[in-house]
Amino acid sequence: MSYFMNKKRLAAVIVITALISSLLTMGAWVALLGLDSHKVVDLVRFFGTMRLIETRYVDGTDEGKLLDGAISGMVQSLGDPHSIYMDKDLYTKLMEHTEGAFGGIGVTMGFKDDKVTIISVLEGTPGEKAGLLAGDEIMAVDGTSVAELQPEEVVLGIRGEVGTQVALTIHREGQEDTDYQLTRDTIHVPSVKGLKLEGTDLGYIRIASFAENTGKEFKEEFKKVKDEGARGLVIDLRQNPGGLITSCVEVAREVVPKGTIVSVVDKNGAKEEYASELEASQIPIVVLMDGGSASASEILAGALQDTGAGKVVGVQSYGKGSVQIVVPLMNEDGLKLTVAKYYTPSGRSIDGTGITPDVEAALVPESGVDSQLEKAKEVLKQELGEPL
């Protein structure tokens, strides 16, 4: 009898030891992950729901899809169009496009109010040849409604191998939806172009985007127009979707006086500042902006506006003032997450609001002239004290 009692006691000790060990292990993980009691309850709720679906859902389940869906749902609940979960296929496409050459149709897009809108069409590209216009709304890509796609899926769905085709369904105000069949091509994006405006002593520099060499190109064009006698400068950032903040800062250091250009602030308040060492503004500047001016364009315009080094002419800019990182996860998938926001020298956040122009000027296409550029020239002449 004592033998069996000892055996039972031994079994009980083993069970209790295992239980204590499990609890200690769980406690160690809880401590390691910095979880409080509420988060532990949430984890139990999450895994309990997952287990219930796995064991009771009538049609069976795929554990991988359940987890992908849960992560995707978490990211979508942020309500941020720039933060997305990328499954294996989408993440692989992103990496391929990042690491190698790709084909496209030559349009930049804005994602706002659950709509995908073309904000600019580059010259000489498949998009221009097909007749796409700024302001067109993309309704579907290859027959799939954009309402079913995340922003990155729309972008990567339009990009692809040079010579292949993509079908877009386009809505244009006042017209029926139209299908366009476009053949992807290698897109060469011109970055900076400068000239002296005919019949004036004003320089004009167009920045199409902030690419790797934009800072160097701007410096060269800026020197050229000054050498040609320009006493004032128009920087045209219309339809410029942004690009590299480092290139934007290089440009800003040529025209923004000494001090902060832009601050990047994360959720904990940690701040990274980019500054200029330029002693003083060299010539009066007017910046042209429109609804397609975004991100790095808004940083440059905001810095010129806040420091008094330039005036902004045009209409309200797009309002993209956030910073994203791409993080690989553990199943060949990834997460693109907004981790910080941009602030102008005066501390303004441009995210969701954009830059308000000092002088409102709408483009009037039917006039046959660039009415916004004409207004910019007028403002510069006032700054120079010249007769209008």
Burial class of 43 by CB neighbour count within 10 A (0 to 12, 13 to 18, 19+): middle
Active-site pick, 120, 295, 297, 317: 295
CA distance 33 to 13: 30
| 336 catalytic residue (yes or no) | no
Q: Quick check: helix, strand or coil at residue 113?
A: coil
> Per the structure block, which two tokens stand in for 177?
């939806």
Q: Which long-range contacts (CB under 8 A, 24 or more apart) does 194-201 make?
A: 194/221, 194/222, 194/224, 194/225, 195/225, 196/225, 196/228, 196/229, 196/230, 197/234, 197/377, 200/377, 201/229, 201/230, 201/231, 201/232
Instruction: Report phi then psi at 387, rounded to 5.
Output: -65, 145
| 306 catalytic residue (yes or no) | yes
Q: Quick check: helix, strand or coil at residue 76?
A: helix
Active-site pick, 320, 336, 375, 381: 320
Active-site pick, 68, 306, 333, 351: 306
Instruction: Report phi then psi at 94, rounded to 5.
Output: -60, -45
| 295 catalytic residue (yes or no) | yes
- Looking at residue 248, its amino acid is C
Catalytically annotated residues: 295, 306, 320
